Chain A
Amino acid sequence: MMQINRFSFGKGFISMVIALSLTGCVDDKYDLKDIDTTSRVTVNNLTVPVNLESIKLDNVIDMDDNENIKTLTDANGNKYYALQEDGDFSTSSFHIDAISVPAVPIAPLEYHVGLNLNTRSAFSGSVSMPSDLPMSEYHFNLNNIDPALISLKNIKAQNPITLEVKLSVNREFVSNGNQVTFKNVNFRLPWGLISDAKGYDKATGHLVIDELPVNNDGTAKFTFKATGLELGSRGQIKNHKLDISDQIGLTAAEIAFELNSMNVPGQIDINLDFDISSFIVNSFSGEIDYHMDNIDIDPISLSDLPDFLNSPDTKISIANPTIDVDVNNPVGGYGIEGRGYIKLTSDFNNGNTTTAQSDMFTIGTNGADLSFGPGATAGSHVEFNNLSNILLNGNVGGLPEKIYVNLVELQFVGEATDFPLGNDIENAKGKYTFDAPLAFGDGSIVVYEDTESGWSSDDLDKVYIEHIKLNAKCSTNLPVGISLKVIPVDKNGDQIPVKEDSSKFDVEPNSNNKEVSLTIEGANGPITNFDGVTFRAVITQNSGNTEAIGPDQYIELNDLRIAVDGYYETDF
């Protein structure tokens, strides 16, 4: 049996134990003091099931505190969005100057009637005035007549028109107890005078006076008063003037004598004087054409449109706009009606303007309840061409900053009755409502672009998205088509290039469970430095369905699945 050297064995054993205790296997491949902590957690086509409720427009369009777009309810109780503005307007006061007519100068007339009285010591009898007595002319000159007046059929004077007539004879015929009386005197006065004087025929102007005694001073006088003048068809005003003229004088009379003394001349000399006072015409009946100044209503400011309408690329043709106007007629009581046009002028910030003008509207004697535009249903409908295009800026896009509303060519015309002159008459007042339901006409494009950003964080910066794919079944009762594009945005606010053809989807009007998909995939590799997304929704109308959009209309994305491929990589 082999003898083991006990000491040597023990020493070796102990040495081995010590060696074991002091040494180990050093693997130079590992260095725990310098660990590369780069770590990646991947997301492998992970489908995120998103269960969305119906997205009603009310959820997307923020109408709070918005002045221009309002939620209205139609007769059937359906709510719809409308660009609506209303306001009041008033015209200036009606005023036509009174007509001042100066006193009318009339040349005096003389008549000579021969008498054969020598054989008699006294005489009592009469002699007729010869026929064809000379006449004078009179002229009523109405100058500076307001252009609104077309014709005057009847004018009324503020003060009575006074016509004083004086016949005078030789003094010998009224001295020594002699008496002279004009009988059956027929004057020709101005026709048309409105007077209740007995014997006056205003159609001819003849005034017949049965007996007109001559006073001791040799004169016979009377005063004829009229309140106005009835001109009839002869009241046409030309060049703001009206000249009423005709003959005035004596056409017939008998001269009755009671002569106690025959010491009188062989003829009687008769002088005839007329004196027509001036007067002021303060009302008239006749034709009027009163033009008001254009009325500038406070412009509609579109500075407070919701974001989804505020894109410079938006082009809107309004499908069923209306303007309702309710206006009174302060001169209707005189039988005058009004008429005019509404003109809208859109002012775009690039200097362009778009103008639309209504057909002529009429304001009846009792005022008017007018409704303009293709969507008009109430009141008196008035056509308004191009109203639908008032928001269009040609082919440029963008909505106007302001819409100017003007009442133009507003005039009141007609046959007035007893229309007052020289006084202010109450102005015309009204209110208007511009109501444009957001019902888009064919070709309309609403571009809504919004960026949700600020998502960047230390963690998100380390996320690399290889692609995001969205699949859903889309249903909507919107009458417009929608194209939605999603573009990622980096921390600098720049859009991250994506493969264009797949980063959007289209939804047709009234789609039902249409499958839509959208893929966001970086054009230059994985998307990183992600800070948010830009949504670009383009609403288009090519279907001819001009139903207004409203808060209860919806988009449903059913079976929405968002599949994500990417990874999170960080260095702890």
Chain B
Amino acid sequence: MNFINKKLLAIFLTSASVFTVAAQESATGYFNDYYQTRWQMNPAIGNRNNYVGFPGLGNINIGVNGNLNPTDLIYSHGGKTVLFTNPNISAAEVLGNLDDINRLGESVNINIIQFGFKAFGGYNNVAINVRQNLGVDLPKSIFSLLKEGLSNKTYDISNLSLKAKAYAEIALNHSRDIKWVPGLRAGVSLKFLLPVAMAEANFNQLHLELAEDSWNVRSNAELRLGMKGLKYETSVNDRTGNRYVDGVNTDDLGFGIGGFGFGIDLGAVYDWKDFSFSLAFTDLGVVSYSDMQLASTNGTKEFRTDAHPIAIGDDSKSWDNMVDALSPLYELSDMGDSGSTSMGLEGKFRAGVDYRFPLYKKLHFGLMNTTNLSSIFPMTEFRLSANVEPVKGVAASVSAAAGTYGCNYGFLLSLGNKGFNFILGMDYANLKMDKNHIPLKSNVDFHMGINFPF
């Protein structure tokens, strides 16, 4: 058990909390007029100026989020920082901090090229982005097993899953005022998606029934990998003759297009007096990964100890037979190319209202609900923000949010107006940190952009 040392553990916890930022765009900046890429949250929102993004740095969004926080895994006891598996930490305390499904996700959205300009009777944006999502679901039963210990109970570790996908996106956006409805502005973005890689691992069923008269295990697992040229490597179990997957072969890996996808964003903004109402659906669409390589247990496999009596003095043959009978539970067969798999995009719904403070027009407040329709990370959040532009070229926003991942607050700072604009912000800035300033929450995000308005 020494394969995990303290350094690796620290890196894991640190990376889970620092390395990323929550959503793919800054929700805090939704009402900030200097946040150039708001159109990705609501395609009806245009910009005051034309702009060109710094290639590769025009819009960087990195985030980690989930309901499994480092503080769910580490505790302070007796002046020391200890793991949840420490014998001095009660099972009730640990399990009380966990949900039935504990999620940890990571998302990255990096803009390669983007620019915006006024034309065609409205405002237009063009962007090429690379997006990547990763999510892991850890059922509470795993922690229950580790913390409460093994006993003669039934452990259902189903819903243990990992999903990840990466694709490139070419987005074209256009928004304009709707003349026959004063105050209404509508927009649409069309996205052409070029899949890069996709992975999905699911324990559809992992059922441990540790009864006193027999231990029974049922397993149904599958792994799907989609990447151009990727194949599984297999070996043969010497004793059972079963050929199983023991790695991936990347010799023929290519960077070609592994499928196709299409998405659309729809949005509207309606200004009424000091209020501005907005509504948007983004990332509506599907992405299809071709050449999906499937490995699976080929259905549900079952093992029962009562079907394998142990004989004494048979040179361990019966024991070996039992071990052999266990192997189908975890040995995945290469099922070959399962064709293409289509996945919905991480669709989001946003509804917001902005109120411009009448006593100080540079100050306005916004309230927005973001609901993630994602299969990887379903979430909903209400965020209240205050936005101010005290002087030309300097704008800032602060926000407070409550939702699936608890309460947080965020900020976004915009420096520069024409010629240069720098954006830096976080939606989940409620950084509870250890004495080394290492964040202790898993909901962290980071947004940065360098653009050149003109």
**Known A9-B390, A35-B81; contact A20-B435, beta-carbon cutoff 8 A:** no
- Asked if B186 is at the interface of the complex by the 8 Å CB criterion, the answer is no
- Please report the C-alpha to C-alpha distance between residue A46 and residue B151 in the assembled complex, in whole angstroms: 5
A515 CB to nearest B CB, Å: 15
CB contacts under 8 Å to A, within B413-433, are 413, 424-426, 429-433
Interfacial chain B residues near A24, Cβ < 8 Å: 429-433, 437, 439
- Asked if A455 is at the interface of the complex by the 8 Å CB criterion, the answer is no
Contact of B81 among A29, A44, A48, A53 (CB under 8 A): A29
**Known A24-B433, A46-B151; contact A30-B74, beta-carbon cutoff 8 A:** yes
**Known A21-B413, A31-B81; contact A7-B390, beta-carbon cutoff 8 A:** yes
- Please report the C-alpha to C-alpha distance between residue A34 and residue B394 in the assembled complex, in whole angstroms: 41
A6 CB to nearest B CB, Å: 6
- Asked if B83 is at the interface of the complex by the 8 Å CB criterion, the answer is yes
Contact of A462 among B1, B70, B390, B438 (CB under 8 A): B1
**Known A6-B362, A53-B311, A572-B2; contact A561-B212, beta-carbon cutoff 8 A:** yes
- Asked if B314 is at the interface of the complex by the 8 Å CB criterion, the answer is yes
- Asked if A350 is at the interface of the complex by the 8 Å CB criterion, the answer is no
CB contacts under 8 Å to A, within B37-95, are 70-71, 74, 76, 80-83, 85-87
Contact of B150 among A29, A44, A559 (CB under 8 A): A44
- Please report the C-alpha to C-alpha distance between residue A9 and residue B396 in the assembled complex, in whole angstroms: 12
Say which size band chain B's interface belongs to. Answer: 35 or more
B301 CB to nearest A CB, Å: 19
Q: Quick check: which of A10-18, A258-266, A305-313, A399-407 contacts chain B, the rest being far away?
A: A10-18
B105 CB to nearest A CB, Å: 21
Q: Quick check: which of B8-16, B129-137, B218-226, B375-383 contacts chain A, the rest being far away?
A: B8-16
- Please report the C-alpha to C-alpha distance between residue A203 and residue B413 in the assembled complex, in whole angstroms: 157
A30 contacts B360, C-beta separation under 8 Å: no
Interfacial chain B residues near A49, Cβ < 8 Å: 211-215, 305-306
Q: Interface readout for B336-368 with A: 1 if CB under 8 Å, 0 if not?
A: 000000000000000000000001101100000
A32 contacts B83, C-beta separation under 8 Å: no
Interface size on A, residues (CB 8 A): 60
Q: Interface readout for A31-42 with B: 1 if CB under 8 Å, 0 if not?
A: 111111111111
- Asked if A47 is at the interface of the complex by the 8 Å CB criterion, the answer is yes
- Asked if A3 is at the interface of the complex by the 8 Å CB criterion, the answer is yes
A41 contacts B390, C-beta separation under 8 Å: no
A53 contacts B83, C-beta separation under 8 Å: no
CB contacts under 8 Å to B, within A344-390, are none
- Asked if B282 is at the interface of the complex by the 8 Å CB criterion, the answer is no
Interfacial chain B residues near A459, Cβ < 8 Å: 1
- Please report the C-alpha to C-alpha distance between residue A51 and residue B351 in the assembled complex, in whole angstroms: 62
Interfacial chain B residues near A66, Cβ < 8 Å: none
A44 contacts B360, C-beta separation under 8 Å: no
- Asked if B388 is at the interface of the complex by the 8 Å CB criterion, the answer is yes
Q: Interface readout for B304-330 with A: 1 if CB under 8 Å, 0 if not?
A: 011011111110001000000000000
A3 CB to nearest B CB, Å: 7
Question: Which residue of A has the minimal Cβ distance to B73?
Answer: A35
Interfacial chain B residues near A53, Cβ < 8 Å: 309-312, 318
Interfacial chain A residues near B308, Cβ < 8 Å: 51
B313 contacts A17, C-beta separation under 8 Å: no
B434 contacts A59, C-beta separation under 8 Å: no
A11 contacts B390, C-beta separation under 8 Å: yes
- Please report the C-alpha to C-alpha distance between residue A327 and residue B165 in the assembled complex, in whole angstroms: 93
A2 contacts B396, C-beta separation under 8 Å: no
Question: Which residue of A has the minimal Cβ distance to B440?
Answer: A30
**Known A10-B362, A13-B388, A572-B1; contact A30-B310, beta-carbon cutoff 8 A:** no
B308 CB to nearest A CB, Å: 7
Interfacial chain A residues near B1, Cβ < 8 Å: 458-459, 462, 570, 572
B85 contacts A40, C-beta separation under 8 Å: yes
Q: Which of B71, B211, B390 has the most CB of A within 10 A?
A: B390
- Asked if B269 is at the interface of the complex by the 8 Å CB criterion, the answer is no
- Asked if B398 is at the interface of the complex by the 8 Å CB criterion, the answer is yes
- Asked if A270 is at the interface of the complex by the 8 Å CB criterion, the answer is no
- Asked if B148 is at the interface of the complex by the 8 Å CB criterion, the answer is yes
* Top-3 shortest CB links A-B: A10-B390, A59-B313, A42-B149
29 A-B contact pairs sorted by A residue (CB < 8 Å): A3-B359, A7-B390, A21-B426, A25-B432, A25-B433, A26-B437, A29-B81, A30-B435, A31-B434, A32-B13, A32-B81, A33-B436, A35-B6, A35-B10, A36-B81, A38-B87, A39-B83, A41-B150, A43-B149, A48-B215, A49-B213, A50-B305, A51-B309, A52-B311, A53-B312, A55-B313, A56-B313, A561-B212, A567-B87
Seed contacts A32-B434, A34-B80; 18 additional CB < 8 Å A-B pairs: A4-B360, A14-B413, A17-B398, A20-B411, A24-B429, A30-B71, A30-B74, A30-B434, A35-B10, A41-B149, A42-B148, A49-B212, A49-B213, A52-B310, A53-B318, A458-B2, A572-B2, A572-B9
